[in-house]
Structure 1
Amino acid sequence: MTQPLIMVAPNGARRGKEDHVRLPLDLVEIVAEARLCHAAGADALHLHIRDTSGMHSLDAGLYREALTELARSVPGIAVQITTEAAGIYSPTEQYACLDALRPAWASVSLREIARDPDLAPRLYALAADQGIRLQHIAYDRGDLDLLAQSRATGIIRAEQDEVICVLGAYAPPRAGRPEELAALAPALDGLRLGLCAFGPQEQACLLAGARAGAEVLRVGFENNLLSPDGTPWPDNSAAVASLRHHLERKAA
């Protein structure tokens, strides 16, 4: 089994300290968590930033500060920014964030950008022209069908072929299950697969994804706080270390 890249998503857009005391919110905490997770085996970081009140933010200035500090403090970890709307931002604001930052790597929700059919082609063209690596977020088969249609019409370029499938859901809460991946398989032909999953079967889902050829496995408190036995992870790095251990054991 080819070893996939492990990406840690340590906080997300919605959870806070009331969910887990070790969920990082400010820049100091995010950098410290990135350092621990990288040491535990994470190759990449899925970056969400928060404003001074702890709310999800797409502020380009805050993003620049975080990207600069992460590059200085944890130079070995790749960083992917999110453009997630989280019920707060419009497609225009998501586009503005991507345009202002022009990062190396960004995740973009297919269904969120599709809310503005006129803007969507501009966003994907911007990414192609600026060399921004895009990871499309697909929450279900409908999103994968939208991706296929957009690629067929040229709105999404052929080389923009990276997708992360989400098993389960945050709201209403629904835990992901490994068997869900099989139902998505027919729509994944020709795509580079990434995977994340909500709930305590997160690790089982990710290991199933690795067996299916996933190139990126995303783990962390954005999607799940619980270890496979149902007890809380002490921190994100413990989830990373456990996933790395099981991947290496299966590859041996």
Structure 2
Amino acid sequence: MIKACLNGSRTPGDHPALPVTPLELAEAARETREAGADAVHMHPRDAAGRESLSAVHVGAAVRAVRQACPGLPVGVSTGLWISGWDPGARREAVRGWAALPPEDRPDFASVNLSEQGFSGVWQDLRRLGVGVEAGVWSVDDADALAATGLECLRVLVEIIGGPADTSVSRAHAVLGRLDRLGVPGPRLLHGEGAPAWILVDEAGQSGLATRIGLEDVLHGPVGEPVGGNADLVRLARARLVVGG
């Protein structure tokens, strides 16, 4: 499985093809699906281009992607920074998704275990029928996930920045801890920044799902420029095929 991460917290100045509006996200999703993506992850924006958890903005982005890509699984972020680091405001925004028709709600949402109030928003998502991807960035996050006893759609082992040459060992430290603790759920391995392409390769060699997109990296495996998310997915798919 390859999930395309379309935009993240980046701004349009970071890459000319960064999708922001619902229509741009829908077009990027369509292109990445054609390039081989099995699902998409996005950060919906408000009219000013700021990340938003509001039902109005989440619903508009999900609706546009579903219309362009029927049947493609669609996910969003619940990153605490989007609500100004206010756990209460985050829960209020996510609970507001109940006003959306089910087809305008995302299939899944990521919840970072390192963030305050993660268990509350996790329960809110479950009540809404939205699957939870557990964002595990460290061994401590793996411990926190195991302690909850909560089950998730997918465990995201996310190596965020740091030296590229230690990314594989850091990833396996987290994966090993999850296994030793008996945490259920399929794993998806990816990196942001320097580790991104190294961990795409590692995921392929380990038989794990992965993700790629402009949220994680702005260039190809050897630093070459890319036209956008679809190019990144094509490059990742080719590497996984060769590696497999």
Q: What TM-score range do you get, normalising by the shorter chain?
A: 0.7 to 0.9
Letter in 1 for 2:130: I
Q: Distance in 1 between matches of 2:237 and 2:138?
A: 26
1:232 to 213, 225, 237: 225
Are positions 1:32 and 2:27 aligned together? yes
DSSP 3-state at the match of 1:163: strand
Query: Where has structure 1 moved over 6 Å in runs of 4 or more?
Result: none
Q: 1:234–1:64: structure 2 CA closer, same or farther, 3 Å change rule?
A: same
Q: Are residues 121 and 208 of structure 1, via their aligned partners in 2, closer, same or farther at CA, if it must alter by over 3 Å?
A: closer
Q: By how many angstroms is 1:146 displaced?
A: 0.9
Question: 2:174 corresponds to which residue?
Answer: 184
Matched with 1:193 is 187
Question: Is it true that 1:105 corresponds to 2:124 in the alignment?
Answer: no
Gapped regions of structure 1 (runs ≥ 5): 152-156
SS at match of 2:47: coil
Partner SS state of residue 217, structure 2: coil
Match of 2:48 in 1: 53
Shift of 1:219: 0.6
Q: 2:237 maps to which residue?
A: 244
1:214-237 Cα offsets, whole Å, 9 max, x none, are: 2x3111111111211112322111
Per the TM alignment, residue 201 of structure 1 is displaced from its structure 2 partner at its CA by 4.0
SS of residue matched to 2:133: strand
Aligned residues of 2:163 and 2:194 also touching (Cα < 8 A): no
Structure 1 Cα separation of the partners of residues 69 and 126 of structure 2: 27
SS for the counterpart of 2:218 is coil
CA-to-aligned-CA distance 1:97-140 (integer Å, 9 cap, x gap): 3322264211111122xx24xxx554333344443210011121
1:19–1:122 Cα change, 3 Å: closer
Question: For residues 19-68 of structure 1, what are the alpha-carbon distances to aligned partners after superposition, in whole Å with 9 as ceiling and x for unaligned?
Answer: 11111111221111111111100111102111222211111111111111
Q: Which has the higher contact order (CA 8 A, sep 6+)?
A: 1
Normalising by structure 1, we get a TM-score of 0.83
Contact 2:29 2:40 in 1 (8 A): yes
Which structure dedicates a bigger proportion of its chain to helix?
2
Residue equivalent to 1:154: none
Matched, 1:168 2:160: yes
Q: Kindly tell me: are residues 44 and 144 of structure 1, through their superposed partners in 2, closer, same or farther at Cα, counting changes over 3 Å? A: same
Distance 1:145 1:247 in 2: 30
Query: Is the CA contact 1:136–1:163 (under 8 Å) kept in the aligned structure 2?
Result: yes
The aligned amino acid for 2:5 is A
CA distance in 2, matches of 1:161, 1:46: 14
Note the alpha carbon deviations across 1:186-231, whole angstroms, 9 max, x for none: 21214321122122442221221233342x3111111111211112
> Aligned-pair RMSD on alpha carbons?
2.1
> Is the Cα–Cα contact under 8 Å of residues 193 and 213 in structure 1 kept in the other structure?
no
Structure 2 unpaired stretches of 5+: 99-104
Given residue 219 of structure 1, which amino acid in structure 2 is its aligned partner?
A: I
Q: How many residues align?
A: 231
CA contact (8 A) 1:200 1:228 kept: no
Aligned-partner SS, 1:229: coil
Checking the alignment, whether the CA contact within 8 Å between 2:131 and 2:153 is kept in structure 1 is no
1:139 equivalent in alignment to 2:137: yes
Cα distance in structure 1, aligned partners of 2:14 and 2:37:
22
Instruction: Report deviation, 1:84.
Output: 1.1
Cα distance, 1:89 vs structure 2 = 4.2
